[in-house]
Chain A
Amino acid sequence: MIRTLIAALFLAAPAAAEVTIQEVTSPGGIDAWLVEERSIPFVALELRFRGGASLDEPGKRGATNLMMALLEEGAGDLDARGFAQATEELAARFDFDAYDDTLTIGAEFLTENRDEAVELLRLALQEPAFNQTALDRVRGQVESIIRSDAQDADDVASNTYFDLAFGDHPYGTDLNGTLDSVAALTREDIFAAHRNALVRDQLYVGAVGDISADELGVLLDDLLGGLPASGAALAPEIDYDLAGGVTVVDFASPQSTALFGHGGIERDDPDFFAAFILNEILGGRGLESRLSQEVREKRGLTYGVSSFLVSKDRAQMYLGSVRSSNDRIGQAIDVIRDEWTRMADEGVTAEELEETKLYLTGAYPLRFDGNGTIANILAGMQMQDLGVDYIATRNDKVNAVTLEEINRVAAELLQPENLHFVVVGQPDALETTN
């Protein structure tokens, strides 16, 4: 009886995303996407700057990250404590983060004191103090994080993997920098990182909440109009060419952590949607993926295994991760290799493709839930050069992928012989290959 009802419900069309995006250009020429949502008296604003920590100059690794951490540590006439107190008085929320390709600034502020909150954020972005006391204090925090990461298996795995894959390119090292590089950073380096990265021609803006298009335009000119028009050149493109194999990093722990992968696919490649669905089936979606079924559900070798397409600005990868006891990680890796090979050889079934399309198309509209979440999506879509009509057409693109297409892409994209496994732990019967 239950199956009958389920079959009936499958026929229902997926819900449609109910967001109306306004494309806004401020009087001063700053573009933004806005969703007006008046039911809660606050605005969520997401600013993103392309370039990110990869803009670090040679020998200055960690400068961009430290710069972002210092934006709330004093600006204009306010020292760090004054800035924090002012933020607390307004109950505004600011969040500054650095990633390899992007710097993000998230802000939430109440309608009742919007102008004061925006002025405070303007100070942080345009008149940061970067005073020596704050620099030294926050440097100490970053150094503490670097020391902790060196003792964290996940971080050791990713740092090792990216070093092998990208060497001297900024993608080859952690954006926090090293103890040596961070120790050497000066105020001038931080100001330089600020000038290089927070610039208008790399800016993308998403806004959601209790504000009109006209009001947003004025706000953006106040907030961002004084930033330089342009900054440093982006990091160069780099080809992924790490050979297949195994690298073991000795690390005292009952469990081994493995990060593995090979080259990937560009976000704007015509085959991207096929690759995206393929990954959902292989190792993307929860416990239903083939990797989860084979490694976790059938054999109990892990609590979590997954794979993911990593389409960075300057390089593409197809990665995965798994953790398993030292005596069983070898078996887990064998199963993963076998599944990778089976998928490359045989592709997906028509049923898997259909089920995954149902999941992806049904889940898509559910993302647009909450002002902060939608602001993030709006900024991300602009960075990926997707039009406002993408929301309406995205599910059609998923549904258009055919079985022939996805299985051709499986054969091309999956390269079991090129999988490189970085294993951090004390695995039985696994050794570094040459």
Chain B
Amino acid sequence: MFATSLRLIAAAAVTCLALPAMAAERVTNFMLDNGMEVVVIEDNRAPVVVHMVWYKAGSADEPEGKSGIAHYLEHLMFKATETLEDGEFSRIVAANGGTDNAFTSYDYTAYFQRVAADRLELMMQMESERMVNLRLDEDDIATERDVVIEERNQRTDSDPGSIFNEQRRAAQYLNHRYGIPIIGWRHEIETLGLADAQAWYDAHYAPNNAVLVVAGDVTPDEVRALAETYYGPIPANPAITERARPQEPPQLSERRMIYRDARVAQPYVTRSYLAPERDSGAQETAAALLYLSEILGGSGATSVLGKALQFDGQRAVYTAAFYGGQSLDDTTFGLIAVPVPGVSLQEIEDEMDAVIAQFMVDGIDLDQFERIKTQIRASGIYAQDNTEALARRYGSALTQGLTVEDVQAWPNILQAVTPDDVMAAAEMIFDRSNAVTGWLMSDAPAQEVSQ
């Protein structure tokens, strides 16, 4: 069966099954005097190093009316600094055989380079330079804003699944800025200017708001010496305080939405419930929810939804469950079902609900539970093969409220989950008063006629 079928849906479902390592990787962490956290992951198989700086500032930290400023500033970070010309950062990385990029999420903005291990010093020199010495000018600002608007055109407005997902999140969060798209609403992007970018940069880019992750063919001592040389002298910004974003009130009312778009070839239904995330020192519920998502919708052939709707009933071409456990604030647990032609969205939604209701009565197939546990354990072995992914795991965790100890405890917490834990988590999560049910459908009314 196609694991990657239906790109539209894969893009819509925020699957983030951050599967654990078994902590076999060699990890060292320490803090510089100015408050910058450092994580070193050693892997000496290839003469390569990944250098990442993660800022504890993402789109959900933005001020009202300025949506998209975190991502826009990420683009502008490749422009001129005090000693580097516009674009020179990436040119120097390339001239050294490296690649570089950056990404922005709700909870963080991160910059990374992948280079030969003996170029690490140069990367630190340049990345520390742009932590505080960016020099923005009006020309860059205007052209780059056009680029960001084209990016929004491409990623969001050209893709009905992305628009649907954006609307769904907006309905899911009543108060938290997780309901606002990372790239920003178009009408707000259009008004972002130099002063906004500068204010965002000044408020968030400082060593005491950053995490350095270096992974690859290095030693912790080398990294410490270089980090003290390049990042160490940058003073902490005393104005930076603990992050405190507007939180969700109790959600008391179920929400339903329909998005119609002529470009939709394959209608589907989603249901997303507000869910707890992995919290430092308290990851047990999140671990149970991760199992629940695998049990209900992990594999088409063996999951509860897949078996009932794709195999036995032949009512759906695709089903899945998704849970984004790593998140600074409240996250979501979701279900998705894509009906076969001739089955309406109302029918597939009802059938999906019936399958879940039956699951709550029948409980968990213990053989399936053991298989999932085995796969989670094995994923720790496979994960060691990808150093860059390990680096991302630590960088994202440390900017999403977790610690190195939490990351390393996670595999054991997952292995300790019991079927009773999973059922208790399911009882807690399936509450329609905090859920959004969404239908993505074509303009054509024929989609709604059932046979």
Binding site for B on A (CB under 8 A): 1-3, 5-6, 9-10, 12, 14-16, 18, 37, 39-42, 44, 69, 72-73, 80-81, 83-85, 88-89, 91, 93, 95, 108, 110, 137-138, 140-142, 144-145, 147-153, 252-255, 257, 285-288, 293, 296-304, 323-325, 355, 358-366, 368-372
Contact = CB atoms under 8 A, between A and B. Distances in A.
Given A1-B83, A144-B5, A88 B302 contact: yes
Contact of B114 (A95, A254, A299, A366): A366
Contact of A42 (B98, B145, B371, B382): B382
9 contacts: A14-B97, A72-B1, A73-B1, A91-B379, A110-B381, A254-B153, A304-B154, A355-B91, A359-B96
Contacts of B367: 85
B48 interface: yes
B48 to A, nearest CB: 5
B99 interface: yes
B77 to A, nearest CB: 12
Contact of A297 (B45, B143, B318): B143
Contact of B150 (A81, A108, A138, A325): A325
Given A300-B144, A323-B154, A355-B91, A40 B381 contact: yes
B340 A2 contact: no
Nearest to B338: A144
Contacts of A140: 314, 317, 340
Interface string B384-414: 1111000000000000000000000000000
A148 B7 contact: yes
Interface stretch (B201-209, B259-267, B355-363, B428-436): B259-267
B95 A81 contact: no
Given A88-B372, A138-B1, A141-B318, A299 B143 contact: yes
Contact of B158 (A149, A253, A360, A366): A253
B31 interface: no
A93 B382 contact: yes
A303 B46 contact: no
A302 to B, nearest CB: 5
> Of residues B3, B46, B122, which shows the largest number of chain A Cβ atoms within 10 Å of its Cβ?
B46
Contacts of B115: 362, 366
Given A42-B382, A297-B143, A81 B116 contact: no
A15 B125 CA distance: 20
B307 A81 contact: yes
Contact of A368 (B46, B96, B338, B379): B46
Interface string B2-19: 110111100000000000
A358 B91 CA distance: 11
B29 interface: no
A151 B155 CA distance: 15
A110 B380 CA distance: 11
Interface residues of B, number: 81
Interface string B261-291: 0111110000000000000000000000000
Contacts of A110: 378, 381
Nearest to B157: A254
Given A151-B264, A300-B142, A370-B387, A91 B374 contact: yes
Contacts of B153: 254-255, 303, 323, 325
Contacts of B116: 14-15, 362, 365-366
A93 B381 CA distance: 12
Contacts of A364: 97
Interface string B125-144: 11001000000000000111
Nearest to B95: A358
Contact of B87 (A3, A15, A141, A288): A288
A145 B1 CA distance: 13
B355 to A, nearest CB: 16
Interface in B201-227: none
A85 B98 CA distance: 42
Contact of A80 (B6, B99, B311): B311
B97 A362 contact: yes
B258 interface: no
A80 B1 CA distance: 9
A311 to B, nearest CB: 22
Nearest to B161: A148
Contact of B125 (A2, A89, A298, A303): A2
Given A287-B87, A369-B48, A89 B374 contact: yes
A151 to B, nearest CB: 4
B418 interface: no
A299 B371 CA distance: 54
B150 to A, nearest CB: 4
B301 interface: yes
B111 interface: no
Contact of B98 (A69, A91, A153, A362): A362
B311 A300 contact: no
A323 B94 contact: no
B6 A148 contact: yes
A360 to B, nearest CB: 8
B151 interface: yes
Contacts of B301: 80-81, 83-85
Given A81-B301, A91-B378, A148-B8, A9 B146 contact: no
B90 A81 contact: no
B176 interface: no
A16 B48 CA distance: 10
B340 to A, nearest CB: 6
A63 to B, nearest CB: 16
B263 A255 contact: no
B47 interface: yes
Given A2-B129, A88-B372, A40 B47 contact: no
B265 A148 contact: yes
A238 B307 CA distance: 45
B200 interface: no
Nearest to A37: B45
A41 B46 contact: no
B317 A255 contact: no
Nearest to B91: A288
Contacts of A137: 1, 310-311, 314
The list of the 6 closest CB pairs from A to B, nearest first, reads A362-B97, A300-B146, A91-B378, A84-B301, A303-B151, A300-B143
Contacts of A148: 6-8, 265-266
Interface string B84-127: 10010011101111110000000000000011111101100110
A95 B317 CA distance: 19
A144 B381 contact: no
Contacts of A73: 1
Nearest to B93: A359
A144 B147 contact: no
Contacts of A89: 371, 374
A205 B322 CA distance: 35
Contact of B5 (A145, A253, A285): A145
B94 A355 contact: yes
B167 to A, nearest CB: 17
Contact of A69 (B2, B122, B151, B379): B2
B311 A81 contact: yes
Given A18-B47, A73-B1, A286-B90, 4 more contacts: A9-B119, A93-B382, A137-B1, A362-B116
Nearest to A302: B150
B415 interface: no
A91 B379 CA distance: 8
Contacts of A255: 150, 153-154, 157-158
B299 interface: yes
B147 A296 contact: yes
B78 interface: yes
B450 interface: no
B375 interface: yes
